[in-house]
Structure 1
Amino acid sequence: MIRRIAYFLIPLAIAIVLWIANLTYGNYYLERGAIMFFAVSIVYLFFKIALQDLVTRKVSDPRNQYSLHRAVSIMFYAAMVLAVIGTWIPNIRTLAVTYGIVAAGIAVALQDIFKSFAGGVLLFISGVYRVGDRIEIDNKYGDVIDIGLMYTTILEIREWVEGDQPTGRIDILPNSLVLNHTVRNYTKQLNFIFEELNVPISYESDWRKARDRILEIVRKETGPVADAAEGQMRSLGEKYFLEKRAVEPSVFLTLTDNWINLGVRYPTWARERRTMMNRISRAILEMVESEPDIDIASATIDIVGFPKPDAERAKVSGPPDR
């Protein structure tokens, strides 16, 4: 807080000094400089001290507080630029023409930058994603750790790492991507996703028993997630048109040439996909080991014969004709 007060007092002091000098020498530039530094100090007082302090006191949620702080920073820099330019071009018509010419030239030369800026403003207004969300955009997956005016920073997941776990890399994405790419948000309104696990069992196995035991295991492991998922789906249905959908674990049977495939569908927390699959897989393997009438199936190949070697084929067919 002391530093912010100092940043407010420094331009204010400069403005006072320049104004006193202007009263003494009557110089146009001294007058404009005094007005500019005074405007800068007022803008800083309003945005960085009064408004930012209000956000800190009134908003308790850390993610919302962070987003509002970033929005205040954007408005602060925009107001600062307008204050500086407006000070040196007092005529409104000239000011409007100047803004238009400068804006047109900059828009053509720096269109990618302006797209990123527009994307950043859109993110703060619409909340397509926020800090802490897990997103996918332009085939990049990760957890959002910062949303700036021009770029979004994510902690990357996937790539060569399985199970939606971090790679350890930081990706810097331009905010312009939200304008022309689909954004998939894993945690915006639903904190869970559905996962599937295929368990092949032999035709000699007791498939009914296997189905019931696997369903029992999955329900035990995903109980808290399924309860929370049902409540979240109900809340989503109140906001959007959404037919009632089952979120509890299910097992679906598929007949193949080699085995009976038990497709297990279950909800899991978006950030615990691999952990949940590991727990369920271990529990299913332990169950199979304890049940003699349930066997995991695998592909088999029956070899019905071998080709004869070249020497043996030549001996059978005899010497070639001359």
Structure 2
Amino acid sequence: MFQNLDWLPDNFVISDAVLSLIANSVILIVVVMVLRALTARFILRTVQSPELRGRWLVNSRNGFLLLMLLGLVMIWGEELRTLALSIVAIAVAFVVATKELILCITGSILKSGSRSFVLGDRIQVKDLRGDVIDQTLLATTILEVGPGKHLHQRTGRRIVIPNALFVSEPVVNESFTTHYDFHVFTVPFKREDNWQLAQAALLESANRHCQPYLELVRRYMSKIGNQRGLMMPTVEPRVTLQVPVAGEIHLTVRLPVKVGERNFIEQNILNEVFSQNDFSPESRRKQAAATATSANASAD
């Protein structure tokens, strides 16, 4: 069995203390792996919600990994302290070489401590936007949503974000609430278009789509505001004007929606408004002429 160990020096001896540490390390790893397997089996059997089950599986995996690392540090702590003075130069070189990995671990600690997001949240970091499906010490995995920041459909691509990015870049969490949320989209028009009619049509359509659950949203937002000490905005749909450049008018629609239905509601409103109305300059002139005729008839 040991015929292939002839290359070892004749004076090569492993002390009993080192053998004890190795044995303790092996036992710790085996115990943690068994506990992780039992915990995963228990979660798969008892948790019915797919979202909650996935979150618990990821959290338990990361927790057992951290437990194993802490245990190994405690087992080898004395030897590490003994070698500390002799490996200072190596440690410095190691830190320089693994700077990105250290930043990833730091970013993981930062996002966990600040509770920036959890599994299932929709986040945006720089130009990366999607739903969080996995988290580890080094990276966060999302399913891309887009393209761009105004669409809410999945593209089918998986993006792995290094946690180092969370140290230097702000994180936009689009899942501040869990049941209802505000959705904002912009519809551009030229100055000569009949944007007044479009404003009224968008507001009417938004009110009609939100009417079934508007009172529920009002109570829900009031509850969230009381819990977090925030002054929540009014939940009624609104259409506001913006003039980003000369010759253009943008209508910004803000309305409450159910979480997960942003794109559905937006497409329904746009299809309804543009299929039933004409916003061309000719329609604006016809509307103005009809208004003037009606005013003259009233004066007579």
TM score, norm. by length of structure 1: 0.63
Partner of 1:312: none
Partner of 1:29: 15
Amino acid at match of 1:140: L
Count residues in correspondence. Answer: 263
Q: How does 1:203-282 map onto structure 2 within 5 Å?
A: 214-223=202-211, 226-227=214-215, 229-252=217-240, 264-269=253-258, 271-282=260-271
Structure (1 or 2) with the larger CA radius of gyration = 1
Seen in structure 2, the aligned counterparts of structure 1 residues 188 and 111 have a Cα distance that, compared at 3 Å, is same
Partner of 1:40: 26
Q: Is 2:132 the counterpart of 1:144?
A: yes
- After TM superposition, give the deviation of residue 119 of structure 1 in Å: 1.3
- The alignment's C-alpha RMSD in Å is 4.2
Q: Report the Cα distance in structure 2 between the residues aligned to 1:215 and 1:286, rounded to whole angstroms.
A: 15
Q: Is 1:253–1:263's contact at 8 Å kept on the other side of the alignment? A: yes
Partner of 2:95: 107
Q: Report the Cα distance in structure 2 between the residues aligned to 1:202 and 1:56, rounded to whole angstroms.
A: 62
TM score, norm. by length of structure 2: 0.67
Q: Report the Cα distance in structure 2 between the residues aligned to 1:247 and 1:238, rounded to whole angstroms.
A: 15
Q: Is 2:161 the counterpart of 1:178?
A: no
Q: Is 2:124–2:130's contact at 8 Å kept on the other side of the alignment? A: yes
Q: Report the Cα distance in structure 1 between the residues aligned to 2:156 and 2:104, rounded to whole angstroms.
A: 25
Q: Is 2:62 the counterpart of 1:76?
A: no
Gaps of 5+ in 2: 1-12, 284-300
Seen in structure 2, the aligned counterparts of structure 1 residues 224 and 76 have a Cα distance that, compared at 3 Å, is farther
Amino acid at match of 1:33: L
What are the superposed Cα offsets for residues 105-138 of structure 1, whole Å, 9 maximum, x if unpaired?
4222211110101212333444312221110012
Gaps of 5+ in 1: 1-26, 289-294, 301-322
Q: Is 1:155–1:166's contact at 8 Å kept on the other side of the alignment? A: yes
Amino acid at match of 1:138: K
Q: Report the Cα distance in structure 1 between the residues aligned to 2:38 and 2:25, rounded to whole angstroms.
A: 20
- After TM superposition, give the deviation of residue 141 of structure 1 in Å: 0.9
Q: Report the Cα distance in structure 2 between the residues aligned to 1:36 and 1:97, rounded to whole angstroms.
A: 23
1:130 is paired with a residue whose SS is coil
- After TM superposition, give the deviation of residue 164 of structure 1 in Å: 2.9
Q: Report the Cα distance in structure 1 between the residues aligned to 2:165 and 2:251, rounded to whole angstroms.
A: 40
Amino acid at match of 1:29: S
Q: Is 1:161–1:167's contact at 8 Å kept on the other side of the alignment? A: no
Q: Report the Cα distance in structure 1 between the residues aligned to 2:91 and 2:219, rounded to whole angstroms.
A: 49
- After TM superposition, give the deviation of residue 279 of structure 1 in Å: 0.6
Identity %: 22
Q: Report the Cα distance in structure 2 between the residues aligned to 1:137 and 1:161, rounded to whole angstroms.
A: 11
Q: How does 1:7-18 map onto structure 2 within 5 Å?
A: none
Q: Is 2:280 the counterpart of 1:297?
A: yes
Q: Is 2:28–2:71's contact at 8 Å kept on the other side of the alignment? A: no
Q: How does 1:87-102 map onto structure 2 within 5 Å?
A: 89=79, 93-97=81-85
